[in-house]
C-alpha cells in the first residue's frame, strides 16, 4: 500500500511542479534549430551568404552559425550577421556601419535597430548567435555590416510565417 501511495504522490507532485513551471522556461530549454551560413571571398564584385532566405515560425528558437571559408585576411575583409528590426533605414545603417570599424561595423547609434548579431569572422572562423524569431509574421532583413558588403549583395531575409 505504501508503494501505491508513493507512486500516486510522486505523480501528483510531478504534475504540480510541471503546472508551476511557466511556459517561457519550458520553451527556453527547447533546442534551437541551427541554420549555417557560409561566407567567402567575393566572386567578381558580388558577395553573398550561402542562404538568402531563412523561414521560421513566430517565436521559433534559431541558432545562426556563421562560418567563413574565405582566404582574405580578416583585417582586410571580415563578415558578420546582423538581423534588423523592420522599418530600419538600411542605407543609413550601412553608411554608419562603414565608419564603425572600432565597434566591428556595428554603429552605436543603431544598436536598438538590431534583433540579433553574430560578430565578425575571418578565414576559418565561425560565430554563433541564438535568438527567438520575432512573433510578428513578416520579412526581416539580415546583412553583413562590413563596409560595402550589403551593397555588393551580402544580405538575406528572415521570413516569419
Q: What band does 22 get if pLDDT is binned at 50, 70 and 90? A: very low
Rounded to an integer, the average pLDDT of 49-65 is: 98
Q: Supply the pLDDT for residue 28.
A: 52
For residues 102 and 30, what is the distance between their CA atoms, to the nearest angstrom?
A: 35
Q: What pTM did the predictor assign?
A: 0.80
Q: Are 92 and 159 in contact (CB under 8 A)?
A: no
* Largest interatomic CA distance in the chain: 79
State mean pLDDT over 153-158.
97
87-141 pLDDT, tens digit each: 999 999 999 999 999 999 999 999 999 999 999 999 999 999 999 999 999 999 9
Burial class (CB in 10 A: 0-12, 13-18, 19+), 110: buried
Predicted confidence at residue 9, as pLDDT, reads: 40
**Non-local CB neighbours of 97 within 8 Å, separated by 6+ positions:** 105, 106, 107, 110, 145, 146, 147
Residue 148 main-chain phi, psi, to 5 deg: 85, -10
Residue 70, C-alpha cell as written in the block: 574565405
In whole numbers, what is the pLDDT of the chain averaged over residues? 86
Amino acid at each position: 500500500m505504501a508503494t501505491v501511495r508513493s507512486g500516486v504522490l510522486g505523480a501528483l507532485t510531478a504534475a504540480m511542479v510541471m503546472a508551476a513551471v511557466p511556459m517561457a522556461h519550458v520553451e527556453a530549454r527547447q533546442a534551437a534549430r541551427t541554420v549555417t551560413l557560409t561566407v567567402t571571398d567575393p566572386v567578381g564584385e558580388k558577395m553573398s551568404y550561402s542562404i538568402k532566405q531563412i523561414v521560421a515560425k513566430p517565436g521559433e528558437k534559431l541558432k545562426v552559425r556563421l562560418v567563413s571559408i574565405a582566404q582574405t585576411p580578416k583585417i582586410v575583409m571580415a563578415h558578420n550577421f546582423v538581423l534588423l528590426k523592420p522599418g530600419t533605414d538600411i542605407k543609413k545603417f550601412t553608411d554608419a556601419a562603414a565608419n564603425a570599424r572600432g565597434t566591428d561595423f556595428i554603429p552605436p547609434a543603431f544598436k536598438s535597430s538590431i534583433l540579433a548579431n553574430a560578430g565578425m569572422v575571418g578565414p576559418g572562423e565561425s560565430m554563433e548567435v541564438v535568438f527567438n524569431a520575432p512573433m510578428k509574421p513578416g520579412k526581416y532583413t539580415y546583412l553583413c555590416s562590413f563596409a560595402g558588403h550589403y551593397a555588393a549583395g551580402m544580405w538575406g531575409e528572415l521570413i516569419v510565417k
